[in-house]
Amino acid sequence: MPNKYSIDDILTPLALTVIIDNKVRDPELSEYIIQAEGLLELLDGFDDVQAPDILGWFRENEAILIARMKSARKNTFVLTTLMKFKDDDIAIEAMYDAMLAISISDKEYHVDESDLIKSAASLWGYARPPFKVIGA
C-alpha cells in the first residue's frame, strides 16, 4: 500500500517553521529533526529515515523553500503545503504540535512564525490556537 504522504509533504511544513523568520537557529533545527523523526514514523512508517537524512533533506531544500517564501505566490505555497493534511485529524494534530514545538524552541517570538502557526490553526479548523505562546 502506498504511503498517504511523501517525505516532502511531511518535512516541508516543519522546514517552513524553521526558515520563516529568516534565521536558522540550532534549537529550531534540533527540534525540527526530533519532530520530523516522530512524524515520519507516525504518519507513514518512514522509520528508516534517520536524523542525517532529515538534516540532509533540509539542507538540499532550504534555498528552494526560502525562494518560494519570498515569491509573489508565497501564500498559495503555504496554503497548498498545509492543506495536504486536511481531513486527517491525526496528521493535523501531530503536525500542529510539531510546528508549535519548533516555533517555540528558540524561545524567541517572531511575527512571521506566529502568523504561520495561526494560519495552520485556522486552516485545520482550530477556532484559535490551544494556547498562547508568549515571547521571552
User: Grid coordinates 533545527 are at which residue?
Assistant: 29
Measure the CA–CA gap between 5 and 74, rounded to whole angstroms: 22
Q: Is the pLDDT of residue 134 over 60?
A: no
Q: What is the pTM of this model?
A: 0.87
pLDDT per residue over 89-107, tens digit each? 999 999 999 999 999 888 8
77 vs 47, 65, 131, CA distance in Å? Answer: 27, 10, 26
